[in-house]
Amino acid sequence: MIEIDRVAKAYDGRVVVSDLSLDIAQGAFCVLLGPSGCGKSTTLRMINRLVPFDSGAIRVDGTDVREVAPETLRRRIGYAIQSTGLFPHWRVEDNIATVPRLLRWPEDKVRRRVAELLALLRLDPETYRGKYPHQLSGGEQQRVGVARALAADPDVLLMDEPFAAVDPITRDALQSELLHIHQMTGKTIVFVTHDIEEALRLATMIAVFERGRLAQVGTPLDIVERPASDFVRDFVGVQGIGLKLLSVRRVGERMRPGEAGTGEPVAAGATLADALAAMIAQRAERLPVAEDGAIVGVIALADLVR
């Protein structure tokens, strides 16, 4: 879906991104991960041409991004940023309708789409459509920011540390909703973060950046279990490695199928970390595992460390 082909970028002779190639498949949730100043944000912004690149090529859906007018390109790609960038003088409704109106959608279609998106982001359309951004909490503002990025139903969504400025509980809820939206819509998402936990939770693929180059590209499991270099190992974190493994492996992989147990079931798709948390909360060493509403097995404390 997105092909980044030997792209380089320097500001006044200072190399920010060098010889970077990355293929992001359709429907992938690709997290660009790295410390600040590693070029991950620049790379994201080169995809919708907010930052011009010096050499190489970027193709979205097979088309070279430099062959279309930047405005046309950007209206086809969703864009959400950390500080939301909501327009303070526009109501929630108008903010979400930005791109549809730039694309001159008929007004009744815009209204329907706004209601649909507010509902998708769990904001009551009638309560929220008329509010101004300053009347919303930080989490609500970020939901509106995500709704606005999704408004014109783009195939690709670019998100630059969208949840970095909200409190941990709100961030957790927003991450769950983004995962849910990703599963429902199958959109290709490119997501920048410096937070390893966030990357492990959300990504189907992670690209770790080190000073303008790719240090490693792989699934969350690859990154944790087989770090390609000392840099990646250090960045992922030596101390918490065991706990991080818990958060990339799923209950379904470790459960004992067919057995039965008592207690509140955990989902087969949940991470082992979720299962551990549920066991601690319920003071139980065995919990039933549910899939599609049916109990399919149990998971025990010992299974987590196998």
Partner 1 sequence: MSAVEIAVSRRRWAPHNQVLPSLVIVAGIAGCGGGFVSLAPSRLVSGTPVPLWTATAAPLVVLLAAAGAVLFALGFAAPRRALSYLAAAVAAAALFATLAAAGSAAAELAAGAPPAAAIGLGAGFWVVFACVALALIEALQRAAAAAPTRLLAACLAAAGFWIMAKTGMFDALSLAHEYLSRHEIFAAAIVRHTALVLGALVPALLIGVPLGLLALRRQRIEAPLFAVLNLLQTVPSIALFGLLIAPLAGLASALPALAALGIGGVGPAPAIIALILYALLPIARNTLAGIGGVSPAAIDAARGMGMTDRQIFWRVEMPLALPVLLAGLRIVTVQTIGLAVVAALIGAGGLGAFVFDGLGQYATDLVLLGALPAIAMALAVDLLLRLATGGASRRVAS
Minimum CB distance to partner 1, residue 130 (Å): 14
**In contact, 147 and 121? CB cutoff 8 Å:** yes
Q: Which is nearer to partner 1, 94 or 172 (CB)?
A: 94
Element (DSSP H or E) covering residue 213: strand 213-218
Amino acid code (one letter) for 285: E
Cα 203–chain centre separation: 6
Nearest to residue 144, comparing CAs of 88, 202, 77? Answer: 88
Q: Which residue has the tokens 């057995």?
A: 259
Q: Exposed/middle/buried for 137, CB within 10 Å: 0-12, 13-18, 19+?
A: exposed
CA angle 240, 283, 177 (to 5 degrees): 60
Residues in region 119-138 near partner 1 by CB under 8 A: 132-134
74 binds partner 1 (CB under 8 A): yes
118 binds partner 1 (CB under 8 A): no
Nearest to residue 85, comparing CAs of 143, 34, 145? Answer: 145
Of positions 18, 98, 175, 282, contacts partner 1 by CB under 8 A: 98
CA angle 147, 153, 154 (to 5 degrees): 105
Minimum CB distance to partner 1, residue 98 (Å): 5
Amino acid code (one letter) for 244: K
186: left (phi over 0), alpha (psi -120 to 50) or beta: left
Of positions 84, 142, 193, 247, contacts partner 1 by CB under 8 A: 84
Quote the CA–CA distance of 3 and 213 in Å, as a whole number. 16
Quote the CA–CA distance of 141 and 120 in Å, as a whole number. 14
Of positions 50, 221, 277, 284, contacts partner 1 by CB under 8 A: 50
Q: Which is nearer to partner 1, 79 or 235 (CB)?
A: 79
Q: Which is nearer to partner 1, 14 or 134 (CB)?
A: 134
**Binding window for partner 1 (CB under 8 A); candidates: 74-82, 180-188, 194-202, 213-221:** 74-82
Q: Which is nearer to partner 1, 14 or 89 (CB)?
A: 89
83 binds partner 1 (CB under 8 A): yes
25 binds partner 1 (CB under 8 A): no
**Binding window for partner 1 (CB under 8 A); candidates: 86-94, 109-117, 229-237, 241-249:** 86-94
Of positions 89, 104, 283, 306, contacts partner 1 by CB under 8 A: 89
Minimum CB distance to partner 1, residue 239 (Å): 35
**In contact, 86 and 145? CB cutoff 8 Å:** yes
Of positions 19, 26, 63, 87, contacts partner 1 by CB under 8 A: 87
Minimum CB distance to partner 1, residue 210 (Å): 26
Residues near partner 1 (CB under 8 A): 45, 48, 50, 70-75, 79, 81-89, 98-99, 102, 132-134, 145, 148, 158
